[in-house]
């Protein structure tokens, strides 16, 4: 991890995790599982986590968001790089230039509705995801109150594009739309436009990062038990469980041993959140990193 005081020396790509929890955050508003309960009591050896949010920069001045979390307001206030400039004359400003949406999940798109106040913003999404937002949800008209406020650019699988000095390539990884879209509407949408993974390269250094939301979710089948026997398993939630055959630990530890692999979008009931527990140790022993809010990587 880079030292934040060395910020101005960075010439490559900076990646910052503003949030690292699955939808609902940790603790979750209506949850008193072992994790949430002991975190609220101050007894957990572990960290609270806001909802999954990644920010990227290639120049330390402008930032790209990967998805837009419902916790974006507090995430911006917790990370001064993302706050308005204090040296400019103008009173309205943001260093956030664009948002790339990987799908239409609520915990990935609600933050767009917090980025109003007539601020120009460039949003990259597949045609289908854009349709879900602006045709099926009238609230997104608030992004378009002023001419030139929102600019939409279509994402298409395997079509690379330049963004703020970086090159981004989306890859379709799942044909599943969020539940709220409904099966009838989903039939009108392209199956390759539901969920994208992103590979982002810095052309100056040739360094790359891959962002695989949903696929790399870190969950345990044990969640069903923690959840009073009534919860869904990781696979039922569309996540990959962490442990077991074809779990994400096994999959990731065999993949490119020189790669740095970071888990994010971690469910609040996952025992890995207890940093004194065996599950946390297992992740560490497999050479993987458990993401947390505020974590920074420089490539």
Minimum distance from CB of 83 to a second copy (Å)? Answer: 6
Minimum distance from CB of 76 to a second copy (Å)? Answer: 5
Judged by beta carbon, residue 229 or residue 245, the one nearer a second copy is 229
Torsional sign, CA 176, 161, 254, 249: negative
Judged by beta carbon, residue 132 or residue 249, the one nearer a second copy is 132
Tokens 């923690």 belong to which residue? 226
Burial class (CB in 10 A: 0-12, 13-18, 19+), 35: buried
Return d(Cα 47, Cα 63) in angstroms, integer: 25
Minimum distance from CB of 190 to a second copy (Å)? Answer: 18
Judged by beta carbon, residue 149 or residue 157, the one nearer a second copy is 149
Judged by beta carbon, residue 177 or residue 211, the one nearer a second copy is 177
Minimum distance from CB of 73 to a second copy (Å)? Answer: 6
Structure tokens at 38: 């002991």
Judged by beta carbon, residue 131 or residue 261, the one nearer a second copy is 131
Footprint on this chain of a second copy (rule: CB under 8 A): 23-25, 27-33, 36-37, 40-41, 48, 70-74, 76-77, 80, 83-86, 88-94, 106, 110, 113-117, 119, 132, 136-142, 145, 179-182, 185, 226-228, 230
Question: 3-class SS at 202?
Answer: coil
State how far Cα 204 lies from the chain centre: 25
User: Which one, of 69, 61, 58, lies nearest residue 18 by Cα?
Assistant: 69
Strands 96-100 and 121-126: parallel
Tokens 């975190």 belong to which residue? 39
Minimum distance from CB of 266 to a second copy (Å)? Answer: 16
């Amino acid at each position: 991890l880079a030292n934040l005081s060395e910020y101005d020396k960075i010439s490559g790509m900076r990646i910052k995790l503003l949030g690292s929890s699955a939808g609902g955050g940790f603790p979750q508003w209506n949850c008193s599982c072992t994790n949430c309960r002991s975190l609220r009591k101050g007894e957990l050896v572990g960290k609270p986590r806001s909802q999954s949010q990644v920010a990227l920069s290639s120049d330390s001045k402008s930032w790209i968001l990967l998805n837009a979390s419902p916790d974006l307001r507090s995430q911006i206030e917790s990370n001064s790089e993302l706050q308005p400039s204090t040296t400019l004359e103008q009173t309205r400003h943001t260093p956030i230039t664009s948002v790339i949406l990987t799908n239409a999940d609520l915990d990935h798109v609600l933050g767009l509705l917090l980025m109003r106040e007539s601020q120009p913003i460039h949003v990259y999404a597949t045609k289908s995801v854009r349709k879900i937002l602006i045709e099926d949800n009238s609230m997104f008209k608030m992004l378009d109150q002023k001419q030139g406020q929102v600019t939409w650019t279509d994402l298409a699988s395997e079509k690379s594009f330049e963004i703020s000095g970086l090159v981004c390539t989306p890859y379709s990884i799942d044909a599943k739309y969020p539940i709220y879209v409904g099966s009838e509407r989903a039939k009108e949408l392209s199956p390759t436009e539901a969920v994208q993974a992103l590979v982002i390269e810095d052309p100056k250094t040739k360094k790359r990062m891959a962002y695989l939301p949903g696929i790399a979710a870190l969950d345990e089948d044990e969640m069903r038990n923690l959840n009073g026997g009534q919860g869904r398993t990781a696979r039922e939630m569309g996540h990959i469980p962490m442990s077991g055959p074809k779990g994400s630990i096994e999959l990731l530890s065999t993949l490119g041993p020189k790669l740095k692999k970071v888990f994010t979008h971690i469910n609040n009931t996952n025992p890995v959140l207890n940093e004194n527990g065996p599950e946390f140790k297992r992740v560490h022993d497999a050479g993987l990193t458990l993401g947390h809010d505020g974590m920074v990587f420089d490539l």
